[in-house]
Amino acid sequence: MFVSNDVSTTGTMQERHIVQPRDAQHPIVLSTEELHVFYGKKEAIYEGDLQFARNQITALIGPSGSGKSTYLRSLNRMNDRIATVTGRIMYRGVDINQPDIDVYEMRRRVGMVFQRPNPFAKSIYDNIAFALRLRGTTDKHELDEIVETSLKQAALWNQVKDDLNKSALALSGGQAQRLCIARAIAVKPDILLLDEPASALDPVSTSQLEDTLLELKKQYTIIIVTHNMQQAGRISEYTAFFNQGRVLEYDTTSHIFTNPQVQITSDYVSGNFG
């Protein structure tokens, strides 16, 4: 009696369940193949091969320490000096994990926004113009235009258009995070990586940020790490569930939340984890 009961619960569940996106309208722009990440000798990611569809939002969820942020940071090689990343990261057919890739040029195409809003101690204008000036854009009109469009895309223009020369450090948390998004999209990247961008924000700012992301999806491919499962449910098309360095489940967000195939995923999304 006891034994058969045990078998029936685990028997329907799989250990891993990976369904890569297949959608002709949203082809794959970024994927990882045999990606492994080591911190020293400790392996942090050992089963994490995902494909990301263009102009869609993919959420990476999972408990703390599951490797989702490590995975995200590997995608634009922010882990280069901290960890060893092996395997291939295919961006539009090019493996960007090769040593001879110009990471600075690559990061212009694969931008990143961090957990904590991190504007520079410069004016709002200079924050956004920072990366453009590094690339030699000095034309005032061009800079003005890009600053304006970036701030508009990040839904911050109306609040700061009269204060562009004020210090960015005076902005509220939600505004600062949207400034960081504007700064990242000012260089017109292809893919935007966001590492728990809303975890330091209040609910209202979070909701505004989500609206912004849904708007940005039309132009950019977005990959977002989030602790907040409701957030993943609200904004993403695809969701990957990480646990202990492995992707245990990857599918459309509606499948992950309504019909998870892996027991741990099911526990996690229903709040029964641990």
Partner 1 sequence: MKTTQQLEKQLKRHSKAAKLEIWGKVVSFSALLLIVAVVVGIIGFVASKGIATFTSNHVNLWDFLTEKKWNPGITDANGKPEVGALPMIVGSFLITILSAIVATPFAIGTAVFMNEISPNKGAKILQPVTELLVGIPSVVYGFIGLSVVVPATRAIFGGSGFGVLSGTCVLFVMILPTVTSMSVDALRSVPRYYREASLALGATQWQTIYKVVLRAATPGLMTAVVFGMARAFGEALAVQMVIGNAALMPGSLVDPAATLTSVLTTGIGNTVMGSLQNNALWSLALVLLLMSLVFNLIIRLIGRKGRLQ
Residue numbers at the binding site for partner 1 (CB under 8 A): 76, 78, 104-108, 111-114, 116, 118-122, 130-131, 134-135, 167, 169, 180, 183-184, 187
Question: Between residues 49 and 163, which has the closer beta carbon with respect to partner 1?
Answer: 163
Exposure of 136 in the CB half-sphere (CA atoms within 13 A): 0
Contacts of 219 (CB under 8 A, 6+ apart): 55, 153
Question: Between residues 19 and 134, which has the closer beta carbon with respect to partner 1?
Answer: 134
Burial 83-106 (b: 16+ CB within 10 A, else e): bebebbbbbeeeebbeeeeeeeeb
Shortest distance, CB of residue 200 to partner 1, whole angstroms?
A: 11
Question: Between residues 21 and 119, which has the closer beta carbon with respect to partner 1?
Answer: 119
Shortest distance, CB of residue 85 to partner 1, whole angstroms?
A: 15
Shortest distance, CB of residue 196 to partner 1, whole angstroms?
A: 13
Q: Could you count the other beta carbons within 10 Å of the beta carbon of residue 161?
A: 13
Beta strands in the chain (DSSP E): 17-18, 28-39, 42-45, 51-53, 57-61, 84-91, 94-95, 110-113, 191-195, 221-225, 238-243, 246-252
Question: Between residues 13 and 106, which has the closer beta carbon with respect to partner 1?
Answer: 106
Shortest distance, CB of residue 139 to partner 1, whole angstroms?
A: 19
Question: Between residues 167 and 228, which has the closer beta carbon with respect to partner 1?
Answer: 167
CA distances from 109 to 20, 24, 126, 215, 265 (A): 23, 23, 20, 19, 32
State how far the Cα of 126 lies from the Cα of 150, in Å rounded to an integer: 13
Question: Between residues 176 and 256, which has the closer beta carbon with respect to partner 1?
Answer: 176
Question: Between residues 167 and 244, which has the closer beta carbon with respect to partner 1?
Answer: 167
Chain centroid offset of residue 235 CA: 12
CA proximity to 41, closest of 84, 88, 87: 84
Shortest distance, CB of residue 107 to partner 1, whole angstroms?
A: 4
Shortest distance, CB of residue 67 to partner 1, whole angstroms?
A: 18
Strands 57-61 and 191-195: unpaired
Shortest distance, CB of residue 167 to partner 1, whole angstroms?
A: 8
